[in-house]
Amino acid sequence: MKILVTGVNGQLGFDVVEEAEKRGIEAVGVDIQNLDITNEEQVNDVILNGDYDAVVHCAAWTAVDKAEEPELFETVRKVNATGTKYIVEACRKKDIPLMYFSTDYVFDGQGEDPWMEDAPRNPLNVYGITKAEGEEYVESYPKHFIIRISWVFGRNGNNFIKTMLRLGKEHDQLTVVSDQVGSPTYTYDLARLVVDMILTDEYGTYHATNQGECSWYDFAKEIFKQANMDVKVLPVSSDQYPAKAKRPSNSRMNQTNLDDHGFDRLPTWQDALSRYLEQLNKQN
């Protein structure tokens, strides 16, 4: 099997390529340097002439607050929606499966119940709007997987854990938002599910995060606890910590589609955090 992985320089794309290669699958990773997904001619050239059996589409604009700058709206849309449309159409011509990664941000974050996979989309910010548009393009093609993830962390790139560890070395007290609840997602664990899934024809929409839920405040406290760092964490509300992009307060996501299609759920987020910190220590 041979798969094309977009966004290989990101946290998820990097781990997907590594996991695929571990299993003897040929994985070709591309990023903006060798595939501009907003260029339809390039997308067609790479996918139609590449002898691929599937495309795992990890590339996206993920700078959530920067996306709110009015002059960048069309750029963000070109990456997250139009670029995805080009990939969908190339996969359709080639008749090969496409896996697309989306986000809890396609929901409005109201209430406390976990979001079902078929819940109505109602995004609050530009990132969520453009990722939802990408989902709609992907849904038009029968051979698709949509995997919604949240609060992502991995070895390759920046994330909340790395930020907390850096700030914890600089300050003995930090304030962290406590009224947004969701589930962290470790790209190493997710990549294993991705490769399991792309080998099947169990198409559809899935939610896949590490098990358990927490607020960003809870997450920060657990990071410092497991890292043995003496940092006091104080809870604040979202309105005390203004950001350009409005975030959903409820990012809990129901994962029954994984169960129904025979896929294993990811380990708990606390377990994932422990293994991730161990990995960071080895790297350092």
Furthest-apart CA atoms within the chain: distance in Å:
56
Beta-carbon count within 10 A of 55 CB: 25
**Residue 219 CB neighbour total at 10 angstroms:** 24
Residue of 127, 188, 206, 276 marked active site:
127
Torsion of CA 10, 90, 104, 23, to 10 degrees: -50
Comparing CA positions, the residue from 155, 149, 156, 127 lying closest to residue 194 is 149
| Rounded Cα gap, residues 61 and 229, in angstroms | 33
Strands (DSSP E) along the chain, which ranges? 2-6, 26-30, 54-57, 98-103, 144-149, 152-153, 173-177, 181-182, 185-186, 204-207, 210-211, 214-215, 232-236, 266-268
- The answer to whether the beta carbons of residues 159 and 184 sit under 8 Å apart is no
Edge to edge, what strands does the sheet with 2-6 contain? 26-30, 2-6, 54-57, 98-103, 144-149, 204-207
Please confirm, yes or no, whether 52 is among the known catalytic residues: no
Amino acid at 112: E
Q: Which residues are catalytic?
A: 127
